[in-house]
Amino acid sequence: MNIVVCIKQVPGSTEIQINPTTNTLIREGVEAIINPFDLYAVEEGLRLKERYGGDVTVLSMGPPHVESALREALSYGVDEAVMVSDRAFAGADTLATAVTLAAAIQHIGEPDIVLMGRQAIDGDTGQVGPSTAEKLGVAHITEVKKIETVTDGVATIQRMLEDGYARIAVRLPLLITVVKEINEPRPASFKGKLRAKKAEIRTLSLQDLGLTPESVGLTGSPTRVMKIFSPPKPTGGKVFNGDAHTAVAALISELKKAGLALKQPSGD
């Protein structure tokens, strides 16, 4: 079985700065980690390999420093790591990212299953997985909590719902996005860390993927971030002391001053 896992490197802290000119995150000096949801995708890829055989390739798009995320993934036991990196890819929205990832996946080969985390913690859109599947022309299932079986080219999967799950049978090839309920990621072994340190990471550029500058990056993005900012921290607050009757009366008085008190029914 040929398995591809897409991961993203994200800031490991909420204490980040924003470039006021470009409206992008200033990542310099900020710890970078593998997107937490993607760790579950990596683990599931390894479990599928252990059950059915095959190879697991981890893929990440970004600037050269995403190499550290790829090496971490290698330390868990994946077979190969591929970095998709080119200045032309910078500024991509979810659609342009999907175009690039789909081209990279096709360049690697025809995978049976593509795995992704349900969403990235820095963007929280959940759009890249389904969009990539559409560009690849394969079926996709989101919010996957369990892969029951993969037999005779058909995967039986449990998709998480608010009040349970749906069992779905779908033919391969397939792209799925996973939730954290699917497994418990393994720690990296000492042997895995040594192997990851020495492993060769393949890099794919715009030219390698046969894409045009107009179809990727900021130029190929139909959406733009007009403004990005940190939400204001909550301030102040008021405590009303006394017994319940006194405190409620004081609260209602303050709400009336602010024009927020509910009107009493007229009784007509």
- 53 pLDDT higher than 90: yes
| Residue 6: pLDDT over 60 | yes
| Residue 6: count of CB within 10 angstroms of its CB | 28
SS (H, E, C) 69-85: HHHHHHHHCCCEEEEEC
Contacts of 31 (CB under 8 A, 6+ apart): 11, 12, 13
Taking residues 120-130, what's their average pLDDT? 88
Q: First and final CA of the chain: distance in angstroms?
A: 73
Q: Any idea which of 97-101, 104-108, 237-241 has the lowest mean pLDDT?
A: 237-241
pLDDT over 70 (residue 26): no
Amino acid residing at 109: G
Average pLDDT, stretch 198-215?
96
Assess whether pLDDT exceeds 60 at residue 234: yes
Judge whether residue 13 has pLDDT over 70: no
Position 231 pLDDT exceeds 90: no
Give backbone dihedrals phi and psi of 65, rounded to 5 degrees, phi first. Answer: -70, -5
- Position 46 confidence tier, pLDDT thresholds 50, 70, 90: very high
What average pLDDT does the segment 110-136 reach?
A: 93
Question: What value does the mean pLDDT of the chain take?
Answer: 90
User: pLDDT per residue over 167-197, tens digit each?
Assistant: 999 999 999 999 999 999 999 999 999 999 9
Query: Crossing angle of helices 67-76/190-198, nearest 10°?
Result: 140
pLDDT of amino acid 31: 77
| Domains in the chain: ranges and CATH | 2-215 (3.40.50.620)
**What DSSP state is assigned to residue 100?**
H
Of 119, 142, 121, 120, residue with least CA distance to 130: 142
Measured in whole angstroms, the distance separating CA 101 from the mean position of its chain's CA atoms is 13
Q: What is the pLDDT of residues 67-94, one digit of tens each?
A: 999 999 999 999 999 999 999 999 899 9
pLDDT of res. 235: 76
Closest CA to 132 of 165, 102, 159: 102
Task: Specify the pLDDT at position 257.
Answer: 83
Q: How far apart are CA 125 and CA 251, in angstroms?
A: 39
H or E element: which one contains 139?
Answer: strand 139-151
Least confident of 54-63, 127-136, 250-259: 250-259
Token representation of residue 248? 């409620």
Q: Are strands 17-19 and 32-34 parallel, antiparallel or unpaired?
A: unpaired
Three-class SS state of 48: helix
- Based on C-alpha coordinates, what's the Rg of the chain? 24
The Cα-based distances of 107 to 142, 185, 203, 265 in angstroms read: 24, 28, 12, 68
Q: Is the model's pLDDT at 27 over the cut of 70?
A: no
Coil, strand or helix at 261: coil
Residue 70's identity, in one-letter code, is L
How many whole angstroms from its chain centre is CA 16? Answer: 18
* Range 234-240 average pLDDT: 80
